[in-house]
């Protein structure tokens, strides 16, 4: 079984005015494995994914990608490195099918 960590997020903190969205969050993504990040509404899943892909900047913490520390400046930056985000909302193109939207 492959245990190579491709992406690692450590001690991630992020606050918005009046709310600490992430307080020491951590995530390991392994090569060849599908992972589901699950949690109640407002748990901070989207915020963590947006930090992973450079949409939001973190207040503190570290992100390693293939063993190197990275700070993506935006989705273009993360996508060029090989990380794509497909948003659940707002960014769908209405006249395209689900498959077309994903691709
Ligand atoms: N852009 C933002 N401005 C202010 N508060 C935000 C923003 N994005 C998320 N939050 C807050 O951060 C917390 C985590 O939200 P979110 O990451 O969207 O959770 P999830 O995706 O797990 O439902 C919530 O309390 C939410 O209201
Ligand atoms: Mg969400």
Does the Cβ of 46 fall within 6 Å of ligand 1? yes
pLDDT in tens, 12-45: 999 999 999 999 999 999 999 999 999 999 999 9
- What is the extent of the structural domain holding 78? 5-102
**Structural tokens at position 19:** 């709310």
CATH of residue 22: 3.40.50.300
Domains contained in the chain, number: 1
Ligand 1 atom nearest residue 41's Cα? 23
- Are 11 and 60 in contact by the 8 Å Cβ rule? The answer is yes
Read off the pLDDT of residues 49-71 as tens digits, 9 standing for 90 and up. 999 999 999 999 999 999 999 99
**Using CA positions, which residue lies closest to atom 27 of ligand 1?**
42
């Amino acid at each position: 079984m492959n245990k190579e960590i491709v992406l690692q997020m450590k001690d991630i903190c992020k606050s918005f005015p009046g709310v600490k969205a992430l307080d020491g969050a951590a995530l390991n993504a392994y090569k060849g494995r599908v992972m589901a990040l699950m949690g109640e509404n407002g748990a901070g899943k989207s915020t963590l994914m947006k930090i992973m892909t450079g949409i939001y900047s973190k207040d503190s913490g570290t992100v390693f990608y293939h063993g190197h520390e990275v700070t993506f400046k935006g989705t273009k930056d993360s996508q060029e490195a090989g990380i794509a985000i497909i948003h659940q909302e707002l960014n769908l193109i209405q006249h395209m099918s689900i498959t077309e939207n994903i691709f």
